[in-house]
Amino acid sequence: MEMDAKLQGRPKTYFLQEAIERGFSAIANRLDREQNYRPYFLLRLKPQPQLEHHIWDLGDMCSRFTDAYLLGRPVTGSAAFKEEEEALRAMLDTCDPFLNPFMAGRMLLAYVDLYLDSPSTERREAVEKLAASIRDNVQHEEDYSYWFKNADGWNTMEHAVFGDFNGYPTFPLGGIMLALARFTESAEAPDCEDLLDRMCRFVLNVSGTFEADGRYQGHTHSGGILTAAVAIMRRALRKNDTAIIDQMKNVFDWTLRFSSKWGWVPDGVGPDDASCESCTITDAIHLGLLIARHIDESYYAILERFARNQLLENQFVHTDPMLPQGEFPEKPIFERALYGSWASWSKPGSLDNCIESVEGCCLGAGIRACYLLWDDIVTKRDGVVSVNMALSRNSQWVEVVSYQPYEGKLELHVHEAAEALRVRMPDWVVREDAVLTVDGEARPIVTDETANGYIRLEGLQAGQLVQLLYPLTTVEAIERVSGRDYKVRWRGDTVLSVTPSGQIYPLYQRKWMEQDSAPMTQGIPYAEQRGGNVHW
Ligand SMILES: [Zn+2]
């Protein structure tokens, strides 16, 4: 059975890995070879296509692109663009973290990734040195630290600013806090912990960002609000502070109210007719994953919808709609830079509002989001392996092969005997409709007592093949998003179409998904990719 299954090849369902590879190429084509591979922050599309340098090329882009290559390689195994990666890494060390305070956080995140990847004294010192210099640059009062604060009594629910993120106290702090939160989980660093706790106290008690029940308004990523929420959640989980954990879970639930079920998340939480920046989807995914991992595993269903839909659709895979028609000498340069970039502005069914330009931040963030999801597809805790999302990937414990969106079929090739294997059943499937086999023999479906929707299997040995079959139902639904009704056609948790979509760059043109058997590929794609050293 196992041999047969291996010979059959695999369905073409490696969506996250392919998106990362497209992103790698987009990064490499967004670097200025005449300036030592300095990134171009902006790809201008209108009135004339142009690659433009900005201050964000430096601390921001060098960090995000370093981060993207570092996280994306263990997922794809791609060895392309090593020279570009090394050049970016070298340029990172020359960047001024305080050119804009936002840079410091992005740079610290990259240094934390480099430390997690290879925890040497030198890399640890790079993190601590930058953290110390941030400490010297921020304001300290009472038990909190900050870059700037608004007048007493300012709060986002009443005084949210839209169109300018500079007014948010979390704007320069979010990235710094997130980096410190992750770093202090892996390194003894009392000074970093102290600085992080001081910033958390500022955001929670002084800044006016969040109401006690987690509500807020304003710019989620660009204003640093969701980035800070991820950091605060990580810190609260580490300290087991249940009140703050609840508050940050509410922040996510509140954000969902303004988002679509398929993962369109507005950068401006508040008024209707908002726009989604891919960076925001990444922050939301990060916060959601923490909830799924530590508090409520049913949240993986939400994240799988995000993964299959808006995260992928926000990536440019067509260049024609965004570039001037006809041929001109530089056109291939812009096509290569655009193809695989992630949109900085999107509507729930189109990229029509992204015709002016595409920012580089979203490209780094898109790869990061794919990585974050990929890393949680299958996890192991206390000897128990859990398959949390039906997305194809290999791992050291089990290979996950999903046939969605074509077929309701999940195959698990066991690599390593484990105390138990848990598999999350899709949330639209009733147990009676699913069929479970091990090496072709039917098994009763036993759901795990401890968590909703997980099937539990015990006594599996290396080499065995688990197969789960379930119906993929197609349903139509109306969903109101940002003040507008959308007709959405779902097949399982995959969106096939959204109406209205758009005139220039409509999304969810997914006719190609509407076949009943999965297109197959020879061999096992990404077979060697079982994860790296960095986990978030
Ligand atoms: Zn962005």
Please name which of 308, 279, 363, 376 lies closest in space to residue 16, comparing C-alpha atoms: 308
CA of 158 relative to ligand 1 center, distance in Å? 25
Helix axes 190-201 and 174-186, enclosed angle (nearest 10): 140
Output b/e per residue, 269-290; b: 16+ Cβ within 10 A.
bbeeebbbbbbbbbbbbbbbbb
Q: What is the pLDDT of residue 147?
A: 97
Distance 364 CA to ligand 1 centre (A): 8
Q: What is the pLDDT of residues 369-405, one digit of tens each?
A: 999 999 999 999 999 999 999 999 999 999 999 999 9
Strand, helix or coil for residue 358: strand
Q: Is residue 473 a part of any domain in this protein?
A: no
Whether residue 284 is contained in a domain is answered as yes
Give Rg (Cα) of the chain.
23
For residue 74, is the peptide bond before it cis, meaning its omega torsion is within 30 degrees of 0?
A: no
CA of residue 385 to ligand 1 center, whole Å: 34
Dihedral Cα 96, 102, 106, 111, nearest 10 deg: 50
Beta bridge partners of 393: 400
Q: How far is the CA of 359 from the centre of ligand 1 (A)?
A: 6
Beta bridge partners of 437: 442, 467
* Alpha-carbon span 189 to 95, nearest angstrom: 24
* Cα 440 to middle of ligand 1, angstroms: 47
**Cα 394 to Cα 363: distance, rounded to the nearest angstrom:** 24
Peptide bond into 101 cis (omega under 30): no
- Closest Cα partner for 196 from 100, 105, 113? 105
User: Is residue 155 exposed (0-12), middle (13-18) or buried (19+ Cβ within 10 Å)?
Assistant: middle
Whole-number Cα distances in Å, 111 to 73, 93, 227, 290, 506:
17, 10, 17, 22, 38
In a domain, 409, yes or no: no
Ligand 1 centroid to 137 CA: how many Å? Answer: 25
Tokens of 211: 């109401």
- For residue 451, the model assigns a pLDDT of 61
Structural domain of 230? 96-297
* Per-residue pLDDT at 430: 87
Centroid of ligand 1 to alpha carbon of 279 (angstroms):
4
Is 466 within a domain?
Answer: no
User: How far, in Å, is the centroid of ligand 1 from the Cα of 58?
Assistant: 15
Could you say which residues of the chain have pLDDT below 50? 1-3
Residues ≥6 apart with Cβ < 8 Å to 401: 10, 11, 13, 392, 410, 411, 412, 413
Residue 345 has which token pair?
């502005």
C-alpha to C-alpha distance for 229 and 206, rounded to whole angstroms? 15
The pTM assigned to this predicted structure is 0.97
Burial class of residue 380 in the structure, from the number of CB atoms within 10 Å of its CB (0-12 exposed, 13-18 middle, 19+ buried): middle
Starting at the edge strand that comes first in sequence, how are the strands of the sheet with 484-491 ordered? 474-481, 484-491, 494-499
Distance 344 CA to ligand 1 centre (A): 5
How far does residue 358's CA lie from ligand 1's centre (Å)?
Answer: 8
Distance 249 CA to ligand 1 centre (A): 23
Name the one residue in this structure whose structure tokens are 């038990």: 143
Across 53-132, where does the E strand assignment appear? none
**Whole-number pLDDT of residue 7:** 56
**Residues 385 and 458 sit within 8 Å (Cβ to Cβ):** no
| Ligand 1 centroid, distance to 416 Cα (angstroms) | 39
CA of 351 to the centre of ligand 1 (A): 14
The count of C-alpha atoms lying within 13 angstroms of the C-alpha of 394, restricted to the half-sphere facing its C-beta, is: 17
* Other C-beta atoms lying within 10 Å of the C-beta of residue 497: 21
CA dist., res. 293 & res. 252, Å (int): 14
Tell me how far the alpha carbon of residue 367 lies from the centroid of ligand 1, in angstroms.
Answer: 12
Q: Do 187 and 245 meet the contact criterion of CB atoms below 8 Å apart?
A: no
- The verdict on residue 121 lying in a domain is yes
Q: What is the pLDDT of residue 4?
A: 54
Tokens representing residue 257 in the block: 């109210």
Domain count for the chain, please give it.
Answer: 1
> Is residue 127 a part of any domain in this protein?
yes
Residue 194 inside a domain? The answer is: yes
User: Is residue 408 in a domain?
Assistant: no
- Output the DSSP codes for 412-462: EEE-S--SEEEEEPPTT--GGG-EEEETTEEE---B-TTSTTEEEEES--T
Distance of CA 169 to the CA centre of its chain: 23
CATH code: domain of residue 112 = 1.50.10.20
Ligand 1 geometric centre to CA of 362 (Å): 4
Q: How far is 117 from 260, CA to CA, in rounded Å? A: 34
- How far apart CA 476 and CA 453 sit, in angstroms, is 23
313 Cα–ligand 1 center, Å: 15
Neighbours of ion ligand 1 (CB under 5 A): 277, 279, 361-362
Give the relative orientation of helices 63-76 and 361-377 as an angle to the nearest 10 degrees: 30
Cα–Cα distance for residue pair 461/419, rounded to 1 Å? 10
Going by DSSP bridges, is the β-strand pair 420-424/384-387 parallel, antiparallel, or unpaired?
Answer: parallel
Alpha carbon of 220 to ligand 1 centroid (Å):
11
Instruction: Report residue 408: phi and psi, to 5°.
Output: -85, 75
What's the CA-to-centroid distance between 274 and ligand 1, angstroms? Answer: 15
Gap from CA of 181 to ligand 1 centroid (Å): 22
87: CA distance to ligand 1 center in Å?
22
Find the 366 Cα to ligand 1 centroid distance in Å: 9
